[in-house]
Structure 1
Amino acid sequence: MISSWRKIRRSSNKKDVASMELSIPNHYRCPISLELMKDPVTLSTGITYDRASIETWIEAGNRTCPITNQVLKTLEPIPNHTLRKMIQDWCVDNSSFGIERIPTPRTPLGAREIAEILSRLVEAQQREDARACQEIVAKIVGLAKESERNKQRILKNETIGVLASSFEAFAKSSYDHNVGVLEQILLALTILISSLDGEAKFHLGSNSSLRCMVWLLNSGDLSTRRNAVLVLKHVLSSDQRKMDDFSEIKESLEGLVKVIKEPICPTTTKASLVIIYNIILSKKVNENVVTKFINMGLVERLLEMLVDSEKSICEKALGVLDGICMCNQGRERAYANALTMPVLVKKILRVSDLATEFSVSILWNLSKNESAAGNNGNGSVVLAEAVQVGAFQKLLLLLQFGCSERTKDMASDLLKMLNVHRDTVECVDTRDFRNLKLPA
């Protein structure tokens, strides 16, 4: 067995040496990358480059040929099929040296082709032909997924605006009848979401579009619900008026909480938490909206998530919990949960500065308002438990390490309140809670 392995290894080494000795012909190398060209294209100056290299050069704002420095008559390079075939033949002839044949590249997506596809989409949408629209959008999705180059070409056109306009148009009709095209457009929007501009947000933020996305958020499959919440996050995050309109739609809040209670993926959970956070902090949202979140069990779910969650989710969950604990009913629900104090104290100085600030703010709200929250007049319940799980020591450390002025003021205030109870309860090392498990 050992002997055979050594023979194989020796043979492999010879092959590596042979590969190192094989030199690539200069005219097969890209003048920019100096690597073997996989997709040779020729510029108007007659110089040939690898497509990826020269497109990167042009996309950087250059309008000249890198070798001749001549101004390019056209920015569209021409595929050099003859040279590409020669390179492929050379790869085959030298396969014994470990050279793999380069695959024949697909024809890149051009601006004219994109314009034609969008024109067909607009015509189909005007005819209210949902099936044709679905097929066209599916083609756009396929092209965008095929390569990053195609995706960037698609983004440079008005594709995102046309898709958003089509979504709004079909959202005004029967959801059940148009569900296929609506789901396909949402998928395309999530792929191209980095370029969601004002026009697209205008169409997607209309009342009909928002209502449709709420319907999909509650009744769609996992993929559709994911796409809906991701698009909603981008549409609502920068427009408080749309955020308020969304929160008034029936079952909108239920859909967001459903995504958190039945997690699809971390990205979806984060998006839902961001939307909820903005809704709760909205000046126009009354306490009834927060109460709805509380009655749906959001406080308990947030605390369970905080036991063991990644940094970004932890920060967002604490932010939402901080907003909920600004109202009496939210504090009452937090008081009643055994996880509240140990989890909050554990997060101080453990996750990030933002998580620490939110944790201190929640503790301050609970401690400052506990008597008014219905603890039967016993103003020491929360404070005593906080001392018991090590809040006093954590807050002292926080002041030593430094924090924002607002957090510093709250921490100082908390220390004064906690100091009264230091001699009345037995303190527990917060490390005892590092293996804290979720409640059954």
Structure 2
Amino acid sequence: MRDPVTAITGITYDRESIEQWLFTNKSTTCPVSKQPLARDSDLTPNHTLRRLIQAWCTQNASLGIVRIPTPKPPLNKIQVLKLLRDLNNPKSLVQLELLASENERNKRCLLEAGVPRAILIFIVNCYRKGQIQKGLQEALSILQLLKIPKEEWTLLVKDNDQTLDSLTWILGNEKMENSIAVKSHAVVLLKRIINKGDTCHVRERLKPEFFETMVKIMRHGVTQQGTSAALHVLLSASSSTRNRMMMMEAGVVHELVEIELGAPEKRITELTLAILFHLCCCANGRAKFLSHEGSIAVVTERILKVSAAVDDRAVFILAMVAKFSGTNAVLQEMLKVGSMAKLCMVLQADRAKYLKDKAMEILKEHTGVWSDSPCFHHTSFYNYVQY
């Protein structure tokens, strides 16, 4: 123990451990006695035990034992409010970020003092002034570190109606220090807002320039976490017909195919194909998809190589393309890149019945075109379609 504290049940714990139990794990019982232990219970410093621990450390210093430092007094609301009054001073934001990263107790105190609202106002003011102020990176980091409840996110975004515009402006700004770090923080924050805020309210406020900015983020790259967050944002947005139209105009389809051609990790592929599935549900989306020379090939290649989720999305994308946009040229392209062969392999693989049925549906529907191909033995092909 480094900072022993006694709970109301009379059991002594290390402060960091019991606070993690209460706040991170969201437990409501004493780990030892199993008695109810509210998260707002007082934890009383056990000075006697701490002095004994320090004395033991001193006695064993020759064995390499380092004496534990005297614990800092708990952060209080007055200290936080003092820092918030001087928020335009970058040092205040640095101090708040350090406090937020130290422990769960500090995060809770920062939330109770209204730090999220103050930080969001600071970010919106930067946007209104058109100035990238020092401390912006720390401000975005603080909002990531704090575990803001869903209800509070909803209120924050509704009360600050320029939140999305502000984050879009940050993502599109090329003239700032630590550009990659700042943009990564901003896009992860966007993901959190969409996931935890009023999703419908947020989705209906997105503008064309938002999607144009997201395309730039995917094209020029941020951190891996930032790319994943950007795809999460687009996936959530793609459930709206209104947003799908703007995404297609912004060039999202082309960029998603380009990402896949780079052979990304499993989770990125799952996200890109999920978005492509939504966009290929409409004619314009399929047209954009087919306008990229590598689209059918890369989707076909992913089947049976990544995950069951990817197989699902890939087969359904091919199904929509073949059924609604299946010109002779498109069907010949599918044959050329091995789509037919992969669909036959799906029939043999350990996959769900509905997916095999969908693969069979594609094969049967285009038998007239594909059965004449010298690429496959006719008998084998007819065995598949009659399976």
Shift of 1:165: 5.1
Aligned partner of 1:347 in structure 2 is 302
Aligned partner of 1:131 in structure 2 is 88
1:258-407 mapped onto 2 (5 Å cutoff) = 258-285=216-243, 287=245, 289-294=246-251, 298-307=252-261, 308-370=263-325, 379-400=327-348, 401-403=350-352, 405=354, 407=355
Partner Cα separation in structure 1 for residue 291 and residue 205 of structure 2: 32
Q: Structure 1 residues 277, 74: closer, same or farther in 2, change over 3 A?
A: closer
1:422 aligns with 2:380: no
Q: In structure 2, which of residues 151, 162, 165 is the aligned counterpart of residue 198 of structure 1?
A: 151
Shift of 1:357: 1.5
1:76 aligns with 2:44: yes
Partner Cα separation in structure 2 for residue 48 and residue 369 of structure 1: 68
1:225-240 mapped onto 2 (5 Å cutoff) = 225-237=183-195, 238-240=198-200
Does the CA-based 8 Å contact 1:277-1:320 persist in structure 2?
Answer: yes
Does the CA-based 8 Å contact 1:364-1:410 persist in structure 2?
Answer: yes
Q: Structure 1 residues 105, 197: closer, same or farther in 2, change over 3 A?
A: farther
Partner Cα separation in structure 2 for residue 276 and residue 47 of structure 1: 48
Gaps of 5+ in 2: 378-387
Shift of 1:48: 5.6
Aligned partner of 1:61 in structure 2 is 28
Does the CA-based 8 Å contact 2:99-2:107 persist in structure 1?
Answer: no
Aligned partner of 1:87 in structure 2 is 56
Q: Structure 1 residues 137, 159: closer, same or farther in 2, change over 3 A?
A: farther
Does the CA-based 8 Å contact 2:140-2:189 persist in structure 1?
Answer: yes
Number of equivalent positions: 360
Aligned partner of 1:243 in structure 2 is 203
Does the CA-based 8 Å contact 2:5-2:43 persist in structure 1?
Answer: no
Partner Cα separation in structure 2 for residue 212 and residue 304 of structure 1: 28
1:426 is matched by which residue type in structure 2? C
Aligned partner of 1:29 in structure 2 is none
Aligned partner of 1:120 in structure 2 is 82
1:87 is matched by which residue type in structure 2? W
Partner Cα separation in structure 1 for residue 121 and residue 65 of structure 2: 45
Shift of 1:415: 0.9
Q: In structure 1, which of residues 93, 97, 107 is the aligned counterpart of residue 72 of structure 2?
A: 107
Q: Structure 1 residues 320, 425: closer, same or farther in 2, change over 3 A?
A: farther
Q: Structure 1 residues 208, 153: closer, same or farther in 2, change over 3 A?
A: closer
Q: Secondary structure at the match of 1:85?
A: helix
Q: Structure 1 residues 276, 102: closer, same or farther in 2, change over 3 A?
A: same
Q: Secondary structure at the match of 2:306?
A: coil
Output the TM-score relative to the length of structure 1: 0.70
Shift of 1:427: 5.7
Does the CA-based 8 Å contact 1:314-1:355 persist in structure 2?
Answer: yes
Q: In structure 1, which of residues 413, 417, 436 is the aligned counterpart of residue 361 of structure 2?
A: 413
Does the CA-based 8 Å contact 2:54-2:68 persist in structure 1?
Answer: no
Structure with max Cα Rg: 1
Q: In structure 1, which of residues 171, 175, 178 is the aligned counterpart of residue 130 of structure 2?
A: 175
Q: Secondary structure at the match of 1:356?
A: helix
Shift of 1:335: 2.5
Output the TM-score relative to the length of structure 2: 0.79
Does the CA-based 8 Å contact 2:127-2:169 persist in structure 1?
Answer: no
Aligned partner of 2:142 in structure 1 is 188
Partner Cα separation in structure 2 for residue 173 and residue 299 of structure 1: 32
Shift of 1:159: 4.3
Shift of 1:188: 0.6
Q: In structure 1, which of residues 143, 151, 154 is the aligned counterpart of residue 99 of structure 2?
A: 143
Structure 1 vs Structure 2 CA RMSD: 3.5
Give a deviation string over 1:276-312, Cα, whole Å, max 9, x none.
Answer: 233333033473x133222xxx333322322311111
Does the CA-based 8 Å contact 1:392-1:419 persist in structure 2?
Answer: no
Q: Structure 1 residues 368, 143: closer, same or farther in 2, change over 3 A?
A: same
